[in-house]
């Protein structure tokens, strides 16, 4: 008799054990997706830039399409995001593109400088600015063009990222400083 009682308990506990294993796999898989693959990743754009509020942003394929359409070609980015900030009449748009490596970002910067310097782009010739930043200087290029002052540079935080900032404010120096610290 005791064999029948024990074997009955084993049969009932197998589905329970199977349920526990499936739940553990779901938790581990979900955690992997959120933390390693970034499926639950928050927006790349902060909600505020200086005193300006984030009014819209796009990421992923939509952002890559938007950035590539500005260049009328696929410029070889692996990811991108576009963030638009505003407060009253002041507006700032930030484009951040990620290249495969720092070398890829430097190559993109060189191509942008060469292309804009040739003319016929709607932008003035690039002016190199050196922004003091603690012990190091940060190179930023400025052009005049549609939408106000335009600045572009390699990100301090992630050397494979190229950042382009369009500033339509009275205080572009302060916003540029905030953008360099943020992006």
**Structure tokens that stand for 76 in this block:** 């070889």
- How high is the pLDDT of residue 38? 43
How far is 128 from 141, CA to CA, in rounded Å? 5
pLDDT above 70 covers a percentage of the chain that reads 75
- How high is the pLDDT of residue 18? 52
Task: Parse the chain into domains and list their residue ranges.
Answer: 1-41, 48-182
How far is 91 from 169, CA to CA, in rounded Å? 6
How far is 24 from 22, CA to CA, in rounded Å? 5
Give the other-Cβ count within 10 Å of 169's Cβ: 22
- How high is the pLDDT of residue 170? 84
On average, the pLDDT of the chain sits at 81
β strands within 1-135, DSSP E: 48-49, 52-59, 79-87, 90-98, 127-133
Q: Mean pLDDT throughout 61-83?
A: 86
Where b means 16+ CB within 10 Å and e means fewer, 65-102 reads eebbeeeeeebebebbbbbbbbeeebbbbbbbbbbeee
- How high is the pLDDT of residue 27? 47
The dihedral region occupied by 34, where left means phi > 0, alpha psi between -120 and 50, and beta the remainder, is: alpha
Taking only the tens place, the pLDDT of each residue in 104-149 is: 999 999 999 999 999 888 899 999 999 887 667 889 999 999 888 9
Edge-to-edge strand ranges of the sheet holding 161-168: 48-49, 52-59, 79-87, 90-98, 161-168, 148-154, 136-145, 127-133
Find, among 158, 35, 175, the residue nearest to 102 by Cα. Answer: 158
Cβ burial of 63 (10 Å; 0-12, 13-18, 19+) is buried
**Structure tokens that stand for 36 in this block:** 């390693």
The residues with which 145 forms a beta bridge, in sequence order, are 148
Asked whether the CA dihedral 39, 51, 56, 169 is positive or negative, the reply is: negative
Taking only the tens place, the pLDDT of each residue in 147-175 is: 889 999 999 989 999 999 999 988 888 89
- How high is the pLDDT of residue 70? 80
Q: What is the pTM of this model?
A: 0.73
How far is 58 from 163, CA to CA, in rounded Å? 15
| Architecture category of domain 48-182 in CATH | 3-Layer(aba) Sandwich (3.40)
């Amino acid at each position: 008799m005791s064999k029948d009682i024990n074997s009955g308990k084993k049969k009932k506990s197998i589905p329970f054990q199977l349920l526990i294993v499936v739940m553990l796999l779901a938790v581990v898989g979900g955690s992997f997706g959120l933390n390693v693959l970034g499926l639950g990743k928050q927006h790349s754009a902060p909600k505020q830039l200086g005193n300006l509020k984030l009014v819209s942003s796009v990421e992923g394929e939509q952002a890559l399409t938007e950035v590539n359409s500005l260049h009328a070609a696929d410029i070889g980015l692996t990811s991108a995001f576009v963030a638009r900030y505003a407060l009253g009449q002041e507006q700032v748009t930030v484009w951040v593109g990620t290249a495969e490596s720092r070398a890829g970002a430097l190559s993109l910067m060189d191509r942008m400088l060469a292309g804009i310097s040739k003319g016929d782009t709607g932008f003035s010739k690039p002016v190199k600015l050196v922004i003091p930043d603690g012990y190091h200087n940060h190179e930023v290029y400025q052009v005049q063009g549609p939408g106000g002052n335009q600045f572009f540079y390699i990100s301090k935080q992630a050397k494979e990222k190229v950042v382009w900032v369009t500033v339509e404010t009275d205080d572009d120096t302060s916003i540029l400083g905030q953008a360099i610290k943020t992006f």
